[in-house]
Structure 1
Amino acid sequence: MSALLLLAAAALQPTAADVSTHQPPLAAEELRRIPAEEARQGVAAGHGSVYAIGDHEVGRYNARTGQRVARWNGDPARFPHLNSCELNGRDLVCAASNYPKVPMSSQVLWLDATTLKLRRTYSLGHGHGSLTWLTRRDGAWYACYANYDGKGGEPGRDHRQTTLVRLDDRMRETGLWTFPDSVLDRFAPRSASGGSWGDDGLLYVTGHDRPEMYALKLPAKGSVLEHVTTIALPTDGQAIGWEQGPARVLWSIERKSTEMVASRVPALK
């Protein structure tokens, strides 16, 4: 074989990086769909309810019947862009921002999980980016700040500045991590749209557009999250929520059809 052919053959062989980042992903199995007019930004779940999240509204739906049983309508001037919510006891805790305005500013909302009455808000002001999700684990909040290449982004920042921050109950920062290139490349040109801790101790994160979810873990050393694997989803990104229980049922949304979608996620070994 000529030297030229040998070089060509070598170029076609996958590298270790190719194998690790382009393996066929695991796939979540779709279980059911619930139509919800608010399902444009994300979904949360728990205690027999599923919550559809829109730009400045939230609908609570009976998870068994699919019937809407409560709704909150926020003032668009005060709450221009809800991004996600997560159930925490009697509260539905929501991450919100002023997207697409700049400079970016963010706030946290606490809604009554049953009535959806607004309990209180907390302003985070201008910080690491645009707050897209807030998830709780081991007595702390983990807040994700998105940054964008285009619309809604600030000069000097792009998707590579997407940041995970750990907060205490007084919203003081106690830790900070960035995302690995293997995940950032999939976010581009947008950022992390949804995130929630699984019962297996892994952090599950979605982007804005791709039908996939990234399992991550905190590093033993350093400040870059570790990418464990990628899981295919039946929906295109946006905020997600785990259903309580051992069945590993995850809710996501299909923006095009405004539906909340339940899927069974395979266990990771």
Structure 2
Amino acid sequence: MFEILFAAALVFAPAEVLSRRPAEEARQGVAVDAAFLYAVDNAQIAKYDRKTGQKVAHFKGDPVKFPHMNSCAVIGAELVCAGSNYPATPMQSQVEVFDPKTLSHVRTIPMGPQPGSLTFVDRKDGSWWAGFANYDGRGGEPGRDHTFTTLVRFDDQWRALNHWTFPPEVLARMAPSSASGGAFGADGRLYVTGHDRPELYVLSVPNGGGVLRLVGTIPIAVEGQAITFDRSAPGVLFGINRAIREVVAMKLPPVEEK
């Protein structure tokens, strides 16, 4: 039934590949600003010049303190990263904040009990938005499988305001894993990737909570993992090919609802 539901959804034109750049730390995700790339790999982040490809800064943390940074985003003057203790259980999550100029660690924000393992963080409409993954196998907790994957909106004190679950047709594509990457586009929609499929899910977010609605999917040149938008170039999305340690820039097609 899930495959039928997914087949009925709108599939947009494939994203256009703009560039490919090697980055040995590109195992979990990538963040970008107008001048630099930030490749993420669990306990380390490397900063690369976007024009020359030269590595200009490197953070390597203690794997005990930084067991699994999954994704990062340049938000304001900070590099904000989603961290967790994946695949350990019970799940624990935290937000790690860095200075993007030097990659020095600024602070840790413990999340406390949450509905999953933190995989992405973004900022929109004066709030923090965070994706919490759940898994069928490794890294999962008894009584919760991938269908418990959740989006949460927080205030500036990281108090939960609203919760959204994911539509069944998207959950079926992500199974047995979960949402690995997520970022809001300039159009206000949430763009999400799973763990290993080369596709991007475009989701609308109903006011006040509920179930996210699938607008459509976009074929992309990366196999899931964390993603980020280039805020200096509307419609340009960055992702990684972890198998070959590569950062890929892509131009997304226009997204229009039926």
TM-score, normalised via structure 2 length:
0.94
**Structure 2 letter corresponding to 1:156:** G
Residue 219 of structure 1, CA deviation: 1.7
Task: Determine the C-alpha separation between the residues in 2 that align with 1:247 and 1:167.
Answer: 25
Task: Determine the C-alpha separation between the residues in 2 that align with 1:115 and 1:94.
Answer: 15
Residue 235 of structure 1, CA deviation: 0.8
Task: Determine the C-alpha separation between the residues in 2 that align with 1:130 and 1:236.
Answer: 20
Task: Determine the C-alpha separation between the residues in 2 that align with 1:215 and 1:260.
Answer: 21
**Structure 1 letter corresponding to 2:8:** S
Task: Determine the C-alpha separation between the residues in 2 that align with 1:157 and 1:79.
Answer: 24
Which residue of structure 2 aligns with residue 113 of structure 1? 100
1:139-198 deviation per Cα after TM superposition (whole angstroms, max 9, x unaligned): 111111100000000000000000000011111001100000111011100000000000
Q: Is the 8 A contact 1:103 1:126 kept in 2?
A: no
2:94 matches 1:95: no
Identity %: 51
2:38 matches 1:51: yes
Find the partner of 2:202 among 215, 218, 227.
Answer: 215
| Equivalences for residues 13-92 of structure 1 within 5 A | 17=5, 19-21=7-9, 24-92=11-79
Task: Determine the C-alpha separation between the residues in 1 that align with 2:84 and 2:4.
Answer: 39
- Aligned-pair RMSD on alpha carbons? 1.6
2:217 matches 1:230: yes
**Structure 2 letter corresponding to 1:139:** G
- Of structures 1 and 2, the one scoring higher in RCO (CA 8 A, sep 6+) is 2
Q: Which runs of 5+ in 1 are unaligned?
A: 1-14
Find the partner of 2:247 among 215, 235, 260.
Answer: 260
Q: Which runs of 5+ in 2 are unaligned?
A: none
**Structure 2 letter corresponding to 1:237:** G
Partner secondary structure for residue 113 of structure 1? coil
Q: Is the 8 A contact 1:133 1:144 kept in 2?
A: yes
Q: Is the 8 A contact 2:153 2:162 kept in 1?
A: yes
Which residue of structure 2 aligns with residue 194 of structure 1? 181
Q: Is the 8 A contact 1:41 1:55 kept in 2?
A: yes
Does 146-155 or 259-268 show the bigger shift?
Answer: 259-268
Q: Is the 8 A contact 1:95 1:108 kept in 2?
A: yes
Task: Determine the C-alpha separation between the residues in 1 that align with 2:248 and 2:205.
Answer: 28
Residue 90 of structure 1, CA deviation: 1.4
Task: Determine the C-alpha separation between the residues in 2 that align with 1:25 and 1:267.
Answer: 8
Q: Is the 8 A contact 2:6 2:170 kept in 1?
A: no
List structure 1 runs of 4+ shifted beyond 6 angstroms.
none
Task: Determine the C-alpha separation between the residues in 1 that align with 2:251 and 2:221.
Answer: 11
Q: Is the 8 A contact 2:68 2:86 kept in 1?
A: yes
Task: Determine the C-alpha separation between the residues in 2 that align with 1:34 and 1:109.
Answer: 25
Q: Is the 8 A contact 2:69 2:82 kept in 1?
A: yes
1:95-134 deviation per Cα after TM superposition (whole angstroms, max 9, x unaligned): 0000110000000011001100000001113321100000
Q: Is the 8 A contact 1:90 1:114 kept in 2?
A: no
Find the partner of 2:163 among 176, 179, 187.
Answer: 176
Which residue of structure 2 aligns with residue 243 of structure 1? 230
Q: Is the 8 A contact 2:122 2:130 kept in 1?
A: yes
Find the partner of 2:134 among 125, 142, 147.
Answer: 147
> Greater CA radius of gyration, 1 or 2?
1
TM-score, normalised via structure 1 length:
0.91
Task: Determine the C-alpha separation between the residues in 2 that align with 1:251 and 1:18.
Answer: 24
Partner secondary structure for residue 70 of structure 1? strand
Change (3 A) 1:266 1:139: same
